[in-house]
Chain A
Amino acid sequence: MEGKKDLREKVRELLAEQASRSLILLLQRIQDHFGYLPPEGLEEVAKHLKLPVSRVYGVATFYAQFSLSPKGKHLVQVCQGTACHVQGGRAILEALVRELDLRPEEPPKSGISVEVVRCVGCCSLAPVMVVDGVAHGRLTPERAVEIVKELYAADNR
């Protein structure tokens, strides 16, 4: 694990390599490296661009592509787009919270991160959940919980 100090150093190095002064580009670069945006990273970008940290934080929380917490080993994306919403997407999310205590946009638990996404482009299968890039359609809350449980099981085997 990199210490806080090294982490800042590393961010500074990454920033020094970039010719661009575009906030989004710089954030992308840092996220590429760390897999997420560590707070020290945002602070360093702010310093680098002479922007208030609050502005950088605002941008980082605005775009779905950025994550402020390290991603788990597995990524579970629950769709809440219009079609999925109509077909009970919300119940899926609620089931994950109720049964497994997995909340969207929180740091991963047992290596699993949950994210809310808006339409993944297979509305005919709604409600949809994408697990590590694989879409599972026509879900029921029970089935969704099962799929995630299988991930645990696979990891502990």
Chain B
Amino acid sequence: MEKLVKLRIDGREVEVPEGTTILRAAEAAGIEIPHLCYHPELSPAGACRLCLVEVDGRLLTACYHRAEEGMEVHTDTERLRRLRRLTLELILSDHPMDCLTCEKNGSCELQRYAYEFGLEENRFIGPHHARKEAPPREDNPFIRYEPEKCILCGRCVRACDEVQGRGILDFAFRGFSTRVTTAFDKALTETDCELCGQCVAVCPTGALTEKERRFRGREWELREVETVCPFCGCGCRITLHLKGNRIVKVSGGYRGFRLCVKGRFGLSFVHREDRLRAPLIREGDRFREASWDEALEFVAKKIREIKEKYGPDAIAGLASAKCTNEENYLFQKFMRVVIGTNNVDHCARLCHAPTVAGLVQAFGSGAMTNSIDEILDADCILVTGSNTSEAHPIVAQEIRRAVRRGATLIVVDPRRIELAEIARFHLRQRPGTDVAWINGFCHVILREGLWDREFVEERCENFEEFARTVERYTPEYVEEITGIPARLLVEAARAFGKAERGMIFYAMGLTQHTSGTDNVLAIANLAMLTGNVGRRSTGVNPLRGQNNVQGACDMAALPNVLPGYQKLSDPGVREKFERAWGRGIPRKPGLTVVEMFRAAEEGKVKAMVIMGENPMVSDPDIQHVAEALEKLEFLVVIDIFPNETTRYADVILPAASFAEKDGTFTSTERRVQRIRTAFDPPGEAKPDWEILCELSARLGYPMGYKHPREIMDEIASLVPIYGGISYERLEGEGLQWPCPSPDHPGTPFLHKDRFPRGKGRFHPVEYRDPDEYPDEEYPLILTTGRVLYHFHSRTMTGRVKGLQELSPEAYVEVNPVDAERYGIEDGARVRVSSRRGSIEVVARVTARVPQGTVFIPFHFGEAAANRLTNPALDPISKIPEYKVCAVKLEPVSP
């Protein structure tokens, strides 16, 4: 139990936990103490002295000093008022009175206090000086700094350091010249700044503002809509600030103010002119606009024809990790009962199918076991196959913060990713050898008796067989396979084994292999062996890439399960759904993404419905995807922009973006959250759920939902893990599934007392070579991944000017040794070829990649890394091997 202290503030009695500051204690008593440099999420600085209070005649800064037992605090005496006026007068003597045209007019904290203290005149206005004369700076795409308006409170400095872990900003120069700047006064873009805008979010004045909002609307003219960021699986809750129907700025985020560059500055894509505005029907090589009536009638007719001619299994559908739960639910329902096939899948196949397959076998449920806000309390964190800082920025922030608080970080990744810089151990395995090192960890932990015997005996099964398998994986043997020095492996394994609360994070670097499912099983073994499941700040935490990839899986946009991972093969389950849906459900599992394209190439699949996906960039071996799409008799694509895939469509239907519809997304931590309509879609565009309803009606199965909330009610009635979810309950923070009943508070971490399958099951797994390894002709390993400034196939981020500026084109990272061997210079164009194709990109010579490995981000359609990748599949989860294939490099003569 934490100790409490009792004190009196302005005569009111308050009791707060020991260590609470006076300012917070006052807050708890409902008393506000004026403050400028204090921010609830940052360490106190005691810089502005506005928060002075009186305690026994002494003056103390309330933001800094702690409440003590028996204290008698006065926050609003005549003397304090005088002092505060003086402080403000001094600050203002230095400050331009530009409120007329300042973006912060109406939300500026300095303005607020100046008004409240009635500071009409100023005795101290001095001559002009260096900071006042320093010109505004906007030499980066998103952030504007006006030194003149800076009050040197240091919130931005602390936010950058404490929250973002970057330390880009600090005070420099002295006296009147003092201002906040970067090292050597460089532009933010010339530093390691991530343009997250955390500094902007905490600035109390108009000194740091969003560049793009300038003169676009004053605070009180802006309308606010609470919704969820449409990019990654972190699921930041954001507030859109709109003037009319235009997004002027974005606020909110993790703990109220933390976002990444994409969420804060990357949403302008919704306003782009090239949004799809009307249904389009192909005519020869062209598309012509059509009415909804005509387009839908045409789609319905074609689908009917193809179904009659070739049967329902000749039709396949790709749902979307970008669309809402409600839309994915409808999509699979449409495929299953209107078309009559289980051929429905989505891009999760290409990222986390092994997670679902592996964790269901091991635990009985395939999602991130724990929550983001538990990271801070972990004492050891293992990150593998996840470039967290770029793909899941908020998770990376929390990991950095945990490390600062003393947690041990172990990074296992061939590339020197950003987190590797702060890791205690960075193990660089040869790509594709994960089972070996994970087994090696288990070997060491067993050998040294660091395993959790009690947990294993009580909660797990099949331990002996597993233990026998890892016996062979001695550190020396593992070194042979992985290249990780034996000694390093032992030390890292020890650190993890000894941890009280060990948390494992992984992403596609672990799953996108032909051994993807085995990798996940091995990770589950490691977590169970060390008893790191079922408690706070532990667990197996797959980071889900897209905003709603978790939800799309939950809703069964998958060929082999029904919503909520209920078994297609279970007659009871099928019957429940058949009764609710009023139609039969095919028994045979459907095709997965890669199988669909293969079947299309072979002429077995004749028509496809693609909702919000761009397989022409994101799928492996694009050459074949193109051929498959080419061969289809009919392709209908529902999307918000024309993209590489819509080119092959017969009909394109214009959809609403995340800002133009209601619904829910489920974040990587299983949190179901509401998105809300901010404005109408452009032109004739409509939300995907409406499009699906109308199409379904034309195919003889009217769905009749009037609002997505009704779809959610249906989901809740059929899907136990969503059983207690309704729109009423989703106001605010949302709910983490499983949430089986209307009074259930949701579940921050899974498997507390038991696993869904009963006991956790150890699966002995053996190392197997990747499908393709370097040889004489293709001597290098190619691995692919993401960059911070883009999302997926860039359909959205490629349309945000500032993001494009920051990351304009594809590149290949080459180790200096390899660069020398193949005659490649930094910045030169090179051809990268695999057995399947070749692309030209710019070379970046860097030690971020180890010798023998090259890296290409997969976002860029013009130089699609996926022309090279290998579509060889993991036998269990059918995920393609994106992360390892053999390539060669050649300089391109200019």
Q: Which residues of A contact B (CB under 8 A)?
A: 39, 42-43, 46, 51-58, 61-64
Q: Which residue of A lies closest to B165 (CB)?
A: A52
Q: Of residues A51, A56, A58, A64, which shows the largest number of chain B Cβ atoms within 10 Å of its Cβ?
A: A58
Q: For the complex, what is the distance from the CA of A57 to the CA of B169, rounded to whole Å?
A: 10
Residues of B within 8 Å of A52, CB to CB, are: 161, 166-168, 170, 183
Q: For the complex, what is the distance from the CA of A58 to the CA of B185, rounded to whole Å?
A: 10
Q: For the complex, what is the distance from the CA of A63 to the CA of B161, rounded to whole Å?
A: 22
Q: A54 near B173 (CB under 8 angstroms)?
A: no
Q: Which residues of B contact A (CB under 8 A)?
A: 161, 166-174, 181-184, 191
| Given known contacts A42-B183, A52-B183, A56-B183, A61 and B168 CB-to-CB distance under 8 angstroms | no
Q: For the complex, what is the distance from the CA of A112 to the CA of B165, rounded to whole Å?
A: 41
Q: A54 near B174 (CB under 8 angstroms)?
A: no
Q: A58 near B171 (CB under 8 angstroms)?
A: yes
Residues of A within 8 Å of B174, CB to CB, are: 61-64
Q: Which residue of A lies closest to B157 (CB)?
A: A54
Q: For the complex, what is the distance from the CA of A64 to the CA of B175, rounded to whole Å?
A: 11
Q: B161 near A58 (CB under 8 angstroms)?
A: no
Q: For the complex, what is the distance from the CA of A74 to the CA of B182, rounded to whole Å?
A: 30
Rounded to whole Å, the gap between the CB of B369 and the closest CB of chain A is 33
Q: A58 near B172 (CB under 8 angstroms)?
A: yes
| Given A39-B184, A42-B183, A61-B174, 5 new contacts (CB under 8 A) | A51-B167, A55-B167, A58-B170, A61-B173, A62-B174
Q: Which residue of A lies closest to B182 (CB)?
A: A54
Residues of B within 8 Å of A51, CB to CB, are: 167
| Given known contacts A42-B183, A52-B183, A57 and B168 CB-to-CB distance under 8 angstroms | no
Q: A57 near B172 (CB under 8 angstroms)?
A: yes
Q: For the complex, what is the distance from the CA of A28 to the CA of B344, rounded to whole Å?
A: 68
Residues of A within 8 Å of B168, CB to CB, are: 52, 54
Rounded to whole Å, the gap between the CB of A44 and the closest CB of chain B is 13
Rounded to whole Å, the gap between the CB of A118 and the closest CB of chain B is 9
Rounded to whole Å, the gap between the CB of B164 and the closest CB of chain A is 11
Q: For the complex, what is the distance from the CA of A53 to the CA of B169, rounded to whole Å?
A: 9
Residues of B within 8 Å of A55, CB to CB, are: 167, 170
Q: Among A43, A57, A63, A64, which residue has its beta carbon within 8 angstroms of that of B170? A: A57
Rounded to whole Å, the gap between the CB of A60 and the closest CB of chain B is 8
Q: For the complex, what is the distance from the CA of A58 to the CA of B167, rounded to whole Å?
A: 12
Q: For the complex, what is the distance from the CA of A54 to the CA of B170, rounded to whole Å?
A: 5
Rounded to whole Å, the gap between the CB of B320 and the closest CB of chain A is 41
Q: Which residue of A lies closest to B173 (CB)?
A: A61
Residues of B within 8 Å of A62, CB to CB, are: 171-174
Residues of B within 8 Å of A63, CB to CB, are: 174
Rounded to whole Å, the gap between the CB of A140 and the closest CB of chain B is 23
* A-B pairs with beta carbons under 8 Å apart, 16 shown: A42-B184, A43-B183, A46-B183, A51-B167, A52-B166, A52-B167, A52-B183, A54-B170, A54-B182, A57-B172, A57-B184, A61-B172, A61-B174, A62-B171, A62-B172, A62-B174
Q: Which residue of A lies closest to B422 (CB)?
A: A50
Q: For the complex, what is the distance from the CA of A136 to the CA of B184, rounded to whole Å?
A: 34
Rounded to whole Å, the gap between the CB of B134 and the closest CB of chain A is 14
Q: For the complex, what is the distance from the CA of A56 to the CA of B184, rounded to whole Å?
A: 10
Q: For the complex, what is the distance from the CA of A53 to the CA of B172, rounded to whole Å?
A: 11
Q: For the complex, what is the distance from the CA of A68 to the CA of B173, rounded to whole Å?
A: 11
Rounded to whole Å, the gap between the CB of A126 and the closest CB of chain B is 19
Residues of A within 8 Å of B161, CB to CB, are: 52
Residues of B within 8 Å of A39, CB to CB, are: 184
Closest 9 CB pairs of A and B: A52-B167, A53-B183, A54-B170, A58-B170, A57-B183, A61-B172, A54-B183, A58-B172, A62-B174
Rounded to whole Å, the gap between the CB of B186 and the closest CB of chain A is 10
Residues of B within 8 Å of A61, CB to CB, are: 172-174
Q: Which residue of A lies closest to B166 (CB)?
A: A52
Rounded to whole Å, the gap between the CB of A91 and the closest CB of chain B is 15
Residues of B within 8 Å of A42, CB to CB, are: 183-184
Q: Of residues B171, B173, B183, B184, which shows the largest number of chain A Cβ atoms within 10 Å of its Cβ?
A: B183
Residues of B within 8 Å of A58, CB to CB, are: 170-172
Q: For the complex, what is the distance from the CA of A71 to the CA of B166, rounded to whole Å?
A: 32
Rounded to whole Å, the gap between the CB of A97 and the closest CB of chain B is 15
Q: Among A43, A46, A54, which residue has its beta carbon within 8 angstroms of that of B169? A: A54
Rounded to whole Å, the gap between the CB of A139 and the closest CB of chain B is 22
